[in-house]
């Protein structure tokens, strides 16, 4: 299926979990907010984001990797991705400001090789007692 991550072609709560890998650094703050809202809309439980962390050492390693790369395009894309990546505080701030108050819980972990994991948990909808 081909679709737009900012307008997912699925119904509400269609999946238990929505996950993306090495994708969000391609989005600006407004697009990221829209993607997160869409991901939460189509998930029952949570949105999981695995992405890069911007760091000077990470950029240096990407430059140093040029001799190992077979494609100049792939190497340049890697440099661009590291430069555009978010740091945990940035992504937390963007997510917190884009979600309605009490709409979700955000967990962020830093991982090996300049990676971060972000889990945006949906808050269960409180059921009102029937009359």
pLDDT tens digits for range 9-50:
999 999 999 999 999 999 999 999 999 999 999 999 999 999
**Considering the domain 15-122 in this protein, what is its CATH number?**
3.40.50.150
pLDDT at 6: 95
d(CA 14, CA 22): 23
Domain map (residue ranges) of the chain: 15-122
> The pTM is what?
0.86
Residues in contact with 24: Cβ distance below 8 Å, sequence separation at least 6, in sequence order: 32, 35, 49, 51, 86, 91
Average pLDDT over residues 97-114: 85
Quote the strand ranges of the chain, DSSP E.
15-21, 43-52, 104-111, 115-122
């Amino acid at each position: 299926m081909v679709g737009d991550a900012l307008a997912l072609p699925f119904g509400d709560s269609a999946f238990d979990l929505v996950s993306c890998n090495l994708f969000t650094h391609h989005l600006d703050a407004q697009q990221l907010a829209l993607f997160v809202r869409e991901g939460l809309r189509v998930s029952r439980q949570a949105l999981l984001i695995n992405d890069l962390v911007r760091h000077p050492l990470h950029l240096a390693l990407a430059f140093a990797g040029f001799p190992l790369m077979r494609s100049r395009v792939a190497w340049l894309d890697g440099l661009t991705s590291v430069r555009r990546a978010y740091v945990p505080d940035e992504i937390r701030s963007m997510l917190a400001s884009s979600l309605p108050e009490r709409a979700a819980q955000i967990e962020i972990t830093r991982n090996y090789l300049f990676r971060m994991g972000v889990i945006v948990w949906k808050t269960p909808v409180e059921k009102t007692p029937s009359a």
